[in-house]
Amino acid sequence: MYVRITTLALLLAPPAVLAKDPAPAKPKTPKVTFRDHIGPLFRRRCTGCHGSGQPKADLDLSRYVSAIAGGSSGEVLVPGDPLQSRLYLL
């Protein structure tokens, strides 16, 4: 009986030892928002010329709605697709 248990344990041990750990879960990327990420950047770098009031080229980057609306040259942002946004390409 002892021999059977030992043999069974030896037969089952290699697969258990060689089994791979499941793939690690991908870390969640934080959701980028205008309020938390884009707006502060625009305030630091852009709204001196493209803020509310009389923005250059009618492009007001101080608020999400006005930034999405674009300026006198048309839309400059494509939500969710920065590579298609004219502002990114400049």
DSSP 20-79: PPPPPPPPPPPPP-IIIIIHHHHHHHTTTTSSSSS-GGG---SSHHHHHH-BTTB----T
Instruction: Answer yes or no: pTM beyond 0.85.
Output: no
pLDDT at residue 42 above 70? Answer: yes
Choose between 57 and 80: higher pLDDT. Answer: 57
pLDDT score, position 27: 81
